[in-house]
Amino acid sequence: MIRLEPRPQSSALWTYASPMLAIVITIALGILIFMALDKDPARALQMFFWEPLKSKYAVGEIMIKATPLLLIALGLSVCFRSNVWNIGAEGQFVIGAVCAGSVALMADKSTGLWIVPALMLAGVLGGMFWAGITALLRDRFNANEILVSLMLVYVATMVLSFLVHGPLKDPGGFNFPQSKTFEAITRIPRLMSGSRANIGVPIALICAVLLWIYLFRTRAGFAQQVGGLAPAAARYAGFSSRRALWVALLISGGAAGLAGALEVAGPIGQLTPYVPAGYGFAAIIVAFVGRLHPVGMVLSAVLMSMFYIGGELAQSRMGLPRSITGVFQGLLLFCLLACDTLVTYRLRWIRKGAG
Amino acid sequence: METYALLLAATLNAGTVLALAGLGLLINEKSGVVNLGAEGMMLCAAIAGFAAVVYTGSDLFGFLAGMGAGMLMAALFGVLVIWLGTNQYATGLALSLFGLGFSAFLGVPYTQEKLPERIGYSWPILGDIPWIGPALFQHHPVVYLAIAVAFALIWFLDKSRTGLVLRAVGESPQSAHALGYPVRSIRLLAVLAGGALCGLAGAYLSVIYTPLWVEGMVAGRGWIALALTTFATWRPARVLLGAYLFGGLTMLQFHLQSSGVQVPSEFLTALPYLATIVVLVLISRNPTWIRVNMPASLGKPFHPG
């Protein structure tokens, strides 16, 4: 018989080994799913873990999908570390994209390159505004941030839908619900030719470094997290929980908004109803699998991005439904949560009759 | 006049989905466990129920399949949260994300599928009364089942001994444990009951209400049902009432759209979500209201010994 026994101290080894084990179990379950679907598991794994690394273009695609995931996850990690449950990053992403897109649509032939930082700023502010609604309602009225932030995702999608069906619809677009294609000058500059990766990639990595400094090398960052670990200690130390709430939501909203700006002015290039692609939800998994640590989240964002690209390849080349990506993402989070038990508990084999 | 009867009928119909899920989550939360996976359970139940009806042609099997799917997912959640002590919010969220992906994955072959002809229901005599008949007495049996569940729950929680034990587990798991009640098993049963009712709600949605399978068709109803338990300050009758109010709001939106009111349709679609936020704010601004009625151990893990 196996019994779970609490560890006197949480295991440092398993803190890092647990995500690895979770990934291994997810892949094992994936192989079973492929076999159940009568598809060659080796070929399927190749779609997920080899094809996306094969060429410069493919690696660029990984980076372009990992960027929004990483940016959003970085922001969410501040929330989760301070025990603020913002699960509406998808909405903040959409509003960021809407604001950035509106700025991009103002550009004409004579606009200078300043439009790029301007639209990114608009995205950040838009995302902060949207997350700020949740912060305000939580702070002033004690409304549950999980439900409010999530409801605002649906509202944000409707705002986008309204704009592309109405005020921002391309007059010459044959009545399709989408805006004009943005002027070339507004495009987020690419890093190199032959790949779609743009300067969003280094921006996200810089954000990861800044977050690391903030979390582990500043007093403000420390104060921010104490409330999540030990609310009583935070109160005693005089760290304001209201401040922590606002900071967490504004940082994560801003990060998600920036991701939305980079997405809409990068790979998409216009406002369409297809801007929300689920990055805001997938980033929750990225944040947890990355242990809410900047370095870990860089790695998990790349992994999650490979899930996306692998899912697309598996659809086009093996006829598997694309939604298999969502299945794997959910499985991964489940496995992680289960494996995390090993951080605080250990397994003990007990012979029957003993104890 | 006739339109209002139909509007009322549609309200009851739409509210039933929310009522069933909300009542299930209420049992769940009375035991001290929050399951944010309602949306995922409802989605998987919706596709399971739909597929079962496609294969067997029987609505009853559809409901049973939906309940089974909901309970299976709830069991997974329950074991993780109650025995392995994982974070309730994160695990529920995982259930919702997984359910979204998994239901879409399973549902691919069913997106074009149609169900056999839906039968109309009518009470003998009562169903023939003008106005009142079409409004109240021509519904699917599950609509009345939801009402029955609400009243059964009122009795169960307030009057029965088992209900008292359930509440004790939610209020103070330590005391219940000290009295010798198996806190974990009771919590698991409550979570399973929640899964079953959310599953029934999901199956009702895809088999009777729509009746179609569309990816992501639950469209936030699971989350609204979660909010309902808070609105209702954990009282079954108020959950039922709240569910009908929100059902009415959905119907009002269609009614306004078809009557040609000059409001962007997106605003009307967003109305239930906005209303959820508004009601949440109105209820939550009075912290004592919430605190008096909320199960004291809600969201907190329990380790015996």
Radius of gyration of chain A (CA): 22
Average pLDDT, chain B: 91
Domain made up of B2-111+131-293: CATH architecture: Orthogonal Bundle (1.10)
Cβ A325–B276 below 8 Å, yes or no? Answer: no
Q: Token digits for B186?
A: 């009771």
Burial of A129 (0-12, 13-18, 19+ CB in 10 A): middle
**ipTM given for this complex:** 0.91
The pLDDT tens digits of the residues spanning A73-128 come to 999 999 999 999 999 999 999 999 999 999 999 998 888 999 999 999 999 999 99
Residue B281 to chain A, least CA–CA distance (Å): 5
Mutation choice for A interface testing from B231, B284, B290 by most A CBs within 10 A: B284
pLDDT tens per residue, range A259-287: 999 999 999 999 999 999 899 999 999 99
Contacts of A275 (CB under 8 A, 6+ apart): A93, A94, A97, A98, A160, A260, A263, A264, A268
pLDDT in tens, B181-197: 999 999 999 999 999 99
CA B123 to chain centre: 25
Chain A residues within 8 A of B276 when measuring between CB atoms: 147, 151
Residue of B nearest to A321 (CA): B105
Look up residue A190 and give its DSSP letter: B
Distant-in-sequence, close-in-space partners of A118: CB < 8 Å, separation ≥ 6? A103
Please check the confidence at residue B26 and state whether its pLDDT lies above 80: yes
* CA-closest candidate to residue A196, choices A39, A66, A88: A66
Closest approach of chain A CAs to the CA of B195, in angstroms? 17
Q: Where are the domains of chain B?
A: 2-111+131-293
Contacts of A311 (CB under 8 A, 6+ apart): A48, A320, A322, A323, A324, A325, A328
- The pLDDT score that the predictor gives to residue B121 is 86
Helix axes A294-318, A56-81, angle to 10 degrees: 130
Is B284 in Cβ contact with A326 (below 8 Å)?
A: no
* pLDDT tens for chain A, residues 1 to 355: 777 788 888 888 888 899 999 999 999 999 999 999 888 999 999 999 998 888 888 899 999 999 999 999 999 999 999 999 999 999 999 999 999 999 999 998 888 999 999 999 999 999 999 999 999 999 999 999 999 999 999 999 999 999 999 889 998 888 889 999 999 999 999 998 888 899 999 999 999 999 999 999 999 999 999 988 888 888 888 888 899 999 999 999 999 999 999 999 999 999 999 999 899 999 999 999 999 999 999 999 999 999 999 999 999 998 888 888 989 999 999 999 999 888 888 888 877 654 4
**For B244-290, how does the pLDDT look when each residue is reduced to its tens digit (9 = 90+)?**
999 998 888 777 777 777 778 888 889 899 999 999 999 888 888 78
Distance, in angstroms, between A191 CA and closest chain B CA?
33
